[in-house]
Amino acid sequence: MATFDRGESLSKGKVWQDVPLHDKRVCASDFAIPTTIASKILPDDSLSVRALLDFHLPRPATTLVGKEDLALFFSKQTPDHLDASTLLQICHLDIPPGPVIRRLVVAGKKAWLDGYKSVKYAHISGETITHFSLWIISFWETVINIRTQVQKPWTDATDWVSQQIQQKKRTDVRTLAAETNRLLAILPWNWAKLGLSDEQPLHTLWHFLGPNWLSSTDENDMLEMLRETIAGDPDLVGTVRVESVYLLDKVAEAFRTRDSVDYDSQSRRWLSSLGNDLFCADRERLITIGHLGVHNKEKHWITIDVTGSQCLLRYGDSFGDRIPPTLCDVYKWWISKHMPNELQFDVVPHSSQTDGHSCGILAFNITAHSIDPVKYPLIEQNDVVLGRLTMFNRLVNCVLERMANRDEEEIARLSERVTDLTMEKPSPLLSFIDLGNSPSFTFQSPKQGNSNALK
């Protein structure tokens, strides 16, 4: 079989989709940071959150020399030898601004296809020109992602924790914040959240620490802990089913496509089985948290508590609003597929929200309270800080307990699955094989006297 010649690909009319899979893998390998190098220039996954904030990473340049011409970064010259001096350069030289790095990531495979073998720090003037391996772009992207997606939010989060420790009004808040501070000194920043909803990296937990809106993953993590509580209660384990926040999306999608997709089809089997379990079997209740954006574009978390035997849906909203009519229609339709009774609606006891970012923690509190009012008393708006600290500490201790029961090699293996996805750094196949093509960009070597070869 003839070998694919990437150096002549464009002149032959080749495009990225025409490149054989083997060659795409070679490209991915050229852009992958060697493990032995990564351990010297990037923070180890096991570093604590506190230690990560102190880890030195190169800064993004604030200005560019000349125009943002991507062609100036690439060279067909073989990369220079990598020694201790070169590694020192990599660790301390400013990297390109984030937007330029994103463009270089997309342009990289086209440059590789055209035979370019190395990368220069074209954004810095007056430096001795060093030709770095193509993986330097992956390093730049990883650095910018760690800075913006991890270090920045965690700096804000740790500042917020410090404020809670220093406040004078509430001893209970100070005590919990001090415990949070202790956990941050031992919490591995990029290990997987073992035992929680999706095993994303631990650094994603920053949303709990401050006036931040909680994500779907955050809500699901709390629901996972509630599910474990129910599993340990003989009075609840056989009658209450906790579902993730994605249930509302699934029911709403089935409702929207009810005329084109049969409810008894293979694609609806899970939802149909769940309905049978709730309305036709011995299971009494289904409880979940939902996002109202599906219905009215509102960024707001709410509680849905359905008791099958009573054909009753109880709705919980920290703003005190009634259930949206569209949501009523969705659940009426779903229940009609399993029983003839008309669905009734009521409200669950709820606390009152007075800001625009506490609905996530309050929605979980309302949900848990509806199951066990004694163990989960309603929290008011002035207790939200207490609720955030409590939940963060519980989640972290839950993960650390599971880590204690696994060896470090197994934890590292689990963490590897989420690192590339979360940090968005080029993985062997994800970034360079599946990344969408950019038809408006064609890589060409800059012509002499013209620094605008790339448009």
Query: Please, what are the domains in the chain?
Result: 6-149 (no CATH), 195-405 (3.40.395.10)
Residue 74, pLDDT > 60, answer yes
pLDDT range class, residue 278, cuts 50, 70, 90: confident
Task: Return the top range by mean pLDDT from 14-18, 156-160, 355-359.
Answer: 156-160
16-30, 88-102, 343-357, 436-450: which has the minimum mean pLDDT?
Answer: 436-450
The H-or-E segment that residue 301 falls in is: strand 301-307
Residue 78, pLDDT > 50, answer yes
How large is the average pLDDT for residues 186-207? 90
Residue 16, pLDDT > 90, answer no
Q: What is the pLDDT of residue 282?
A: 58
Q: What is the pLDDT of residue 33?
A: 95
pLDDT range class, residue 7, cuts 50, 70, 90: low
Residue 95, pLDDT > 50, answer yes
Distance separating alpha carbons of residues 15 and 336, to the nearest angstrom: 52
Arithmetic mean of pLDDT over the chain: 84
Distance separating alpha carbons of residues 271 and 263, to the nearest angstrom: 9
pLDDT range class, residue 449, cuts 50, 70, 90: very low
1-15, 117-131, 174-188: which has the minimum mean pLDDT?
Answer: 1-15
Q: Which long-range contacts (CB under 8 A, 24 or more apart) does 231-238 make?
A: 233/372, 236/371, 236/372, 238/282, 238/283
pTM listed for this prediction = 0.83
How large is the average pLDDT for residues 397-408? 82
Q: Of residues 62 and 160, which shows the higher confidence score?
A: 160
Residue 411, pLDDT > 80, answer no
Burial class (CB in 10 A: 0-12, 13-18, 19+), 313: buried
Q: What is the pLDDT of residue 362?
A: 96
How large is the average pLDDT for residues 380-384? 88
Q: What are phi and psi of 359, to 5 degrees?
A: -60, -30
User: Which residues in 227-256 are b (16+ Cβ under 10 Å) and which e?
Assistant: bebbeeeeebeeebbbbbbebbebbbbbbe
Q: What is the pLDDT of residue 22?
A: 84
Look up residue 97 and give its DSSP letter. Answer: P
Residue 274, pLDDT > 80, answer yes
Q: What is the pLDDT of residue 290?
A: 94
How large is the average pLDDT for residues 351-375? 92
Q: Of residues 65 and 377, which shows the higher confidence score?
A: 377
